[in-house]
Amino acid sequence: MDKANAAEWLLRRVVDRARASELVGDHLEAYPDAGGLRFWLSISGLMWRFSWRSLVGVAASPVLGLTLAMAFFVFTNPDATGNLGLPDAMVFQVKTYLLGMSVLLWMATMFSLIRLGWRDVLTGVGLVASVLWSASISFIWQRTSATVLILLWAGFIVVCFSGAKRRRAFWILCGAVGVAWLAAFALSAFPHDPYSVFGKWQFLTAVILVPILESRVTMGLYGRFLGR
């Protein structure tokens, strides 16, 4: 593999095939006599230019996602709401599960915000879905609030499915969060002693692996269904 093909292969990790080929071709045409070091420094600069948002998004999304999910949960005062007549233990378990999903949803949304910008349709769909989900954790337990939330969710879904881009963004968001949940569930279900060193490494693995996997799925689906 010559350096042009190798450089194109590397750039395809951060841009599409046509763009990678164009970038390498333009560089070779502009600097035909450039040495190997200058060539690879230029390619490294291009990779950073097109990937820094993704790297920042992967690093920041877990922190921002957890912060926002917990902030909504704490400041909406969930303990002050009802429980629809359900046992308190069941309500607590459901809230805990929904809170975990809220973290994953906010993570995907924050990654989209950093990587794609606030004007992108995926970011918009994610923000609305995240706010509705966080509100549901606290307010779904009262009949009046539950009715309002059901209407808001129904309206949100109708709006999403009324346009091709919003519909695709909705399914991309569901796919990314679903894959992240499966990965987190698989790691948590793997037999381990919570007091052992492996148990701590298992948690750290989830903290690192889940955001990377969620972001990769997000951009993979985005490139296929919205980035064309």
Domain ranges of the chain: 52-225
Pick out the chain residues at pLDDT < 50: 1
- 0.95 cut: is pTM over it? no
The predicted pLDDT at position 139 comes to: 86
The predicted pLDDT at position 1 comes to: 47
DSSP symbols for the chain: --HHHHHHHHHTTTS-HHHHHHHHHHHHHH-TT--HHHHHHHHHHHHHHHHHHHHHHHHHHHHHHHHHHHHHHHHT-GGGS--TT--HHHHHHHHHHHHHHHHHHHHHHHHHHHHH-TTSHHHHHHHHHHHHHHHHHHHTTSHHHHHHHHHHHHHHHHHHHTSHHHHHHHHHHHHHHHHHHHHHHHHHHS---TTSHHHHHHHHHHHHHHHHHHHHHHHHHHHHHT--
- pLDDT tens digits for 74-113? 887 655 555 666 677 777 788 888 999 999 999 999 999 9
